[in-house]
Amino acid sequence: MKTDREESTGTCAQSNWAKLSEREAEVLNHLCIGTSIKDIACTMTISDRTVRQHMRSCRQHFGVRSSLALVSAAMRERLGTVRGNDGDQDRQARSPTYRQDGTLPAAAG
């Protein structure tokens, strides 16, 4: 049985990052650092509508209803990985590494 803390922090859903496609994870990473939808679309060379679709898919994977809740849940999970609390190496390996200035490196290819 889950405790209230597990329910609110998503402890049992620690593998949400691993469920995301590469593009969904990229959009979510941009959202977590505060990039606007328009700038995400420009950076990823996709339409605003596609960014919003990736966001919708991410919200479904994380089981949340708002973009704010999505970013909050995603950052909570990321902190769990940084601290090494969950041991999910696949999700940790798929999360891109940020540059020292807080930006994502340019996509290869």
Domains of the chain: 20-83 (1.10.10.10)
> Looking at residue 3, what is its pLDDT?
42
> Looking at residue 98, what is its pLDDT?
61
Alpha carbon 11 to its chain centroid, in Å, reads 15
> Looking at residue 90, what is its pLDDT?
44
How high is the mean pLDDT in each 10-residue block of the chain (109 residues)? 44 71 94 95 96 97 94 85 45 54 60
> Looking at residue 54, what is its pLDDT?
97
> Looking at residue 58, what is its pLDDT?
96
Q: Return the half-sphere exposure (C-beta side, CA atoms, 13 A cut-off) of residue 20.
A: 32
> Looking at residue 35, what is its pLDDT?
95
